[in-house]
Amino acid sequence: MFLKRLVLVNFRNLEDLSWNPHRGINIITGDNAQGKTNLLEAINFCTSGASFRTSREREMVRQGADFLKINSLMEKNGSQYEISVEMAKDSKLEFKLNGLKQVKNKLFQPGMSVSFTPSDLDLVRGNPAGRRRWMDAELCCFEARYIYNMQNYNRVLTQKNNLLREKIKTSGYNEILETFNTQLADYGSRIIHARLSQLGRLSSMLKNVYRDITSGKEDIYFKYFSSIPLVDKLNLNAIKKSFLDTMMEKNSEEKFKRQSLVGPHRDDLNFFVNNMDARHFCSRGQQRSIVLALKISVINVYRLEYGEYPVLLMDDVLLELDESRQAGMTGLFELPLQVFITSTALPENFPADYRAVKITNGQLT
C-alpha cells in the first residue's frame, strides 16, 4: 500500500496542502503545534476512514471553516485508485472511490495503515480495556465474523447486566438469565478463540522483532489472562464448555454484585521482558520498544493476510529511542514499506535513507 498524493482543504490547521510523498521513509519535521500530527491523522483517515485522535469527526474541520476535503491517490497491488472525503457544514462525511459515492465500511478494509502514537504506550502500562480494544481493532479485525460476534456479545452482555441490576426481579428471571448465559458462551467463546488464534500467530513474530530492536539483549513474551480456565486454548468447544461452567460457578456472586464477571470483556494481555512484568519493571524506552515491536509484528500479519504491507505512521516516538534501538530497526526500513515519521528535528545517524519535509503553520516546505 502506498500513498502517492494527498490534498487537504480545511483539515484542522492544514488549510490548503498538497503533497506527493516518497514511497519509502518520509520524515516530517517542525516545531510543536505546526501540524505534524494533523498531517499523520489525515493520512490515517484516508487509509482507514478513522482518526487515531478523536471519534468526533467535526473536530477535524479547521476552526472557522464550514467544510472539509481530503483527496488521496493510493496504490495497491499495482493498481491506482482515488479516495476522497468531504464534509459540508451540518452534514455527514461523504466518501467517494474514483469519483463514485461509496459506503465507508465497504471502502476501507483492515490493514491499510498502522499508527504508532505516544498514547499507544498504554498498550503496555495502561488499563486492560485498552489492550482489549487493541486486540479487537487491530489483531482480530479480519477474523471471519469477529465483529459480528463482538456486536452480539456486547448486546447480550448489556441485557444480562440490566437483568442483574433489577431490584424487583422479572417473572422467569432465572430462565432468562440462563438464556443470556448460553448466548454469551456462544459468542464469547468464539471471541476468545479468535484472540488466542491470532495471538498465537503473532507470538513468534513479536519475539524475533523485539530481539532485532534490542540487538538480541532482551527477550519478550506475552500472556493472555482469561476469566475462564483455558485447558485447551485452540478447541472452541472446550472454551465454550469452560465458559458455561465458570458462569455457573459464579452465578451467586454475579447476582450479589449485580454484574457479569465472566467473559472476554474481563480478559487481559500482559507483556514480559526478561521474565519481568513490563507494566512495572520496564523503562519507558523498553515500553516504547515493546509497542514498536508489536506494531511491526502486526504489519507482518497484515502482509500475510492481504499480500501487501500497510502504511506505517509514527508520531514523535521513533526518535525517542536510543541509537542502538534505532539501529536494530534496520530490517524494518529495508522492507518495501511506506513510512511517515514526525519529529521536531532531523535525526542523527538514522539507519536508513529518507526524504524530509518541514511543516510550518500548516504549510510544507
Please tell me the distance from the alpha carbon of residue 319 to that of residue 114, in angstroms, as a whole number. 18
**How many other β-carbons are positioned within 10 Å of the β-carbon of residue 359?**
23
Residue 294 located in a structural domain: no
Given 281, 300, 326, the domain boundary residue is 281
pLDDT at 237: 96
Same domain, 132 and 251: yes
Distance of CA 85 to the CA centre of its chain: 22
Residue 287 located in a structural domain: no
Same domain, 208 and 340: no
Residue 16 assigned to a binding site: no
Same domain, 201 and 250: yes
CATH of the domain at 23: 3.40.50.300
The model scores a pTM over 0.75:
yes
Count of the separate structural domains present in the chain: 2
Residue 126 located in a structural domain: yes
Residue 33 assigned to a binding site: yes
Domain range for 236 = 121-281
- Note the pLDDT tens digit of each residue in 13-64: 999 999 999 999 999 999 998 999 999 999 999 988 888 888 888 888 898 8
Given 244, 260, 281, the domain boundary residue is 281
Residue 34 assigned to a binding site: yes
Same domain, 252 and 327: no
Residue 35 assigned to a binding site: yes
Please tell me the distance from the alpha carbon of residue 117 to that of residue 37, in angstroms, as a whole number. 9
Residue 198 assigned to a binding site: no
Residue 298 located in a structural domain: no
At 114, the amino acid letter reads V
Same domain, 24 and 149: no
Exposure class string for 133-168: b at 16+ Cβ within 10 A, else e: ebbbebbbbbbeebbebbebbeebbebbeebbeeee
Percent of the chain with pLDDT over 70: 99
Residue 297 located in a structural domain: no
Cell of 176: 432468562
Same domain, 276 and 128: yes
Same domain, 79 and 157: no
Residue 325 located in a structural domain: yes
Nearest to 137 by CA among 80, 247, 52, 56: 52
Same domain, 262 and 352: no
Residue 257 assigned to a binding site: no
Same domain, 133 and 100: no
pLDDT at 319: 63
Residue 304 located in a structural domain: no
Low-confidence ranges of the chain (pLDDT < 50): none
- Note the pLDDT tens digit of each residue in 152-166: 999 999 999 999 998
Residue 32 assigned to a binding site: yes
Same domain, 236 and 318: no
CATH of the domain at 261: 1.20.1050.90
Residue 31 assigned to a binding site: yes
Same domain, 58 and 132: no
